[in-house]
Amino acid sequence: MKLIFEKSVTGRKGLKFPALDVPATAQLPKACLRQDDARLPEVSELDVVRHFTQLSQRNFSVDANFYPLGSCTMKYNPKFTEKVAAMPGFADLHPLLPQLKGGEKYTQGALEVLYESERWLCEITGMKAMTMQPLAGAHGELTGIMLMAAYHKAKGNTHKKYVIIPDSAHGTNPASAAVAGYEIISVPSDKKGVIDLAKLKAVVNEETAGLMMTCPDTHGVFNGQIDEVSKLIHSVDGIMYYDGANLNAILGRCRPGDVGFDVVHLNLHKTFATPHGGGGPGSGPVGVGERLEKFLPISRVIRRSDGMYALNYDYPDSIGYIASFYGAFGVILKAYAYMLLLGCEGLKQTTDHAVLNANYLLHRLKGHYQVAFDRICMHECLFSASRQLERGVHAIDIAKFLIDQNIHPPTVYFPLTVKEAIMVEPTETESKETLDTFAEAMIRADELSKTDPHAFHALPKTMPISRPDETKAAREVKVNFFAQSV
């Protein structure tokens, strides 16, 4: 496909300006005037429309294709919530308004959304209070670990040095704990895919600041020993941190607060109606139990005794601001609309379908691919391409095969604990027919690995480029046409 600059023809126009109704020569200082004409493509309106429409169709999107990227929850989200977020009463509000004297009265709706979202998410997670400020999952993790550190500092726990993290954790977990100033101890998983309790016991001591855990973890399995883990960590005054990025596995069925967690972060842009990925806006609210509440970031939205909502900054122990204003308000608004739309029962069904769909795929593909952990899974199922590897076909080759079938590849080579990992998260929004189409494509890939393993090396065949350098394609991108052509 050509660049729009390559489609440019001198003199071609797509726009006719109206006649000027002001003097044509404005009096500007010479230094402010442009020296050369702007380099713009000269194209017709139709050229532009076709160019960008075709470009948009190159996108692999959840609106067009199945997107079973494990640990990312690339589910279809209702367009209704987008509509709500675009309502002018919300979208046009100036973020400074509620902070101005008298401005609160014009922002009651927005403040109520923040207040109610916090309340509902606290109910869902079993937490006491929540900050809606963090702008992504990883940002929420950092906030949560800073709250952990504030707790230890206030208690005079100066000997706390380590945060314990299972080896199956998402990479952001150790990164966040390290950025917050802790050293990391990684604990291996046992044969069932959950943290090895004996090995955990061996490393927990007075220097343990806390434990970060994902449940279900990125092996896609539930940890039935959480109570024991919580007791152990609490016995040394450690903090239990819950990575709730994948909450759609337990939504409405299990509350982290009820099984001993002290801090929880959520990814509204996975579970609550904003798509993950593509660099779009995110939101990673952080909920806490009683012990950590006073350290939460400011400002906080309160409901006054006269029923009015207001911002409150009067928290002397707060860790301060973690983001400007009130977080990603549009994303929070979508989550609010989504919770209203589904209601309590609907949210529970979300989880049930997510888990059912993953187990269906696990069952259908079991005979063809090695399963990482042979047990009932939660919202995602984990395979290994180890059998295919014996025939010279890697997980990445299967991923490339799927691209030609119009299916976005699942997550491959993560978690790091499983060789040739293929991690599939079908999500609750997919139908049985779509799951069958995917399963059949995976089975065809397995068959091809038996009959013609070399065929994989030329895949994908349907894309503008086939096999970019996996590292350089992300690190050395050249996107500036002029920089290249000069």
Residues interacting with ligand PLP, by CB under 6 A? 71, 136-138, 170, 172, 214, 218, 243, 245-246, 267, 282, 284
Minimal distance, residue 244 CB to ligand PLP, in Å: 8
CB of 256 or CB of 284, closer to ligand PLP: 284
Answer for the pair 385, 420: CB distance below 8 angstroms, yes or no.
yes
Minimal distance, residue 427 CB to ligand PLP, in Å: 13
d(CA 122, CA 327): 17
Minimal distance, residue 232 CB to ligand PLP, in Å: 22
CB of 74 or CB of 402, closer to ligand PLP: 74
Minimal distance, residue 234 CB to ligand PLP, in Å: 23
CB of 125 or CB of 218, closer to ligand PLP: 218
CB of 382 or CB of 439, closer to ligand PLP: 382
Token reading at 85 = 């977020």
Q: Print burial letters for 432-467: b (CB count within 10 Å at least 16), e (below 16).
A: eebbebbbebbeebbebbeeebeebeebbeeeeeee
CB of 338 or CB of 401, closer to ligand PLP: 338
* DSSP reduced 3-state for 89: helix
CB of 274 or CB of 405, closer to ligand PLP: 274
Q: Give residue for tokens 């704990």.
A: 177
**Closest-approach residue to ligand PLP (CB):** 137
CB of 98 or CB of 409, closer to ligand PLP: 409
Distances (CA, A) of 362 to 49, 289, 386: 43, 36, 16
